[in-house]
Amino acid sequence: MKNRIRELRERKNLTLVELSDLLFKTFAIKISPDLLSKYERGDRKAQSNTLSGLAYIFGVPTDYLDGSKTIKSIVIDGVLDRVKMQRIYFKVSEERGGYPVEKLKNYIEEEMKSNFITFLLSDAYKEKLGIDDESLNVRISEAIRLISNAVLLRTDTDNFNPSGIFHQLIIDADSIGQEFESDELDFSTISEEQIKTINELLPSIRKIREQAKTAFEQLAKDKNINPETGFERMIRKSLNN
């Protein structure tokens, strides 16, 4: 914990006094510069609300800030959580289309070695684009999204069979632009002009999404391919029985 708080504070060119003031102005958290110094040295442990406030200011995950996880472990855990939300591989034997956690971790490890993911999570990416450490949360989220998609494609397709590939294409087409329609979208972080642009584009985005989804479904039909994963077919069959 002590190295990361100090390192991130110094990267933002903040003194202990300035960081103390920022915590109070932003979150009404009153922490003296002396206490912050003790956090940096590891002499004292910050309470969860203070830790969350510091993580927000620095733009990093709390478990990265407190030293309990590396960026790599945060990404791996994030991908596993995302995969679990979308598929129930962990409750099915490997013989019936399931995937042990260790096998998924191996897939994740392989994807993390890709040139782009390595670059995305490196300081070189930040320096090349001229951005500061506040981008780390965003970059981690993007890495989790990209790796999750690659892992899901790999598990869905069992080494890229046609059914799984069409299934993933249809999912991707169906998700185009959905981030703009999410109930969780925080419009307070974007300008009125940006909101206006999004609202103007949404009808066209919805149309493109539906056209792409229909086109993929028709292509799968023409190729006599069922765009459904083996696991989904197994569930449907069990329900019919």
Q: What is the pLDDT of residues 18-45, one digit of tens each?
A: 999 999 999 999 999 999 999 998 889 8
Provide the 8-state DSSP code for 232.
Answer: H
Q: Which CATH class is domain 4-66?
A: mainly alpha
Task: Spell out the domain ranges in the chain.
Answer: 4-66, 70-157, 158-240
pLDDT band at 226 (very low <50, low <70, confident <90, very high): confident
Q: Which two tokens stand for residue 96?
A: 């019936």
What pLDDT is stored for residue 158 in this prediction?
46
Q: Three-state DSSP class for 201?
A: helix
- Tabulate helix, strand, coil % of the chain (nearest 5): 75, 0, 25
From 37, 3, 44, select the one nearest 17 (Cα to Cα). Answer: 37
Provide the 8-state DSSP code for 135.
Answer: G
- The mean pLDDT value for 156-173 works out to 66
CA atoms within 13 A on the CB side of 146: 18
- Alpha carbon 25 to its chain's center: 29
What pLDDT is stored for residue 235 in this prediction?
45
Q: Which of 14-18, 99-103, 109-113, 136-140 has the lowest mean pLDDT?
A: 99-103
Q: Distance between CA 26 and CA 214 in Å, rounded?
A: 48
- The mean pLDDT value for 177-206 works out to 78
Q: What is the pLDDT of residues 36-89, one digit of tens each?
A: 999 998 889 899 999 999 999 998 999 999 888 999 999 999 999 888 776 545
Q: Distance between CA 33 and CA 44 in Å, rounded?
A: 13
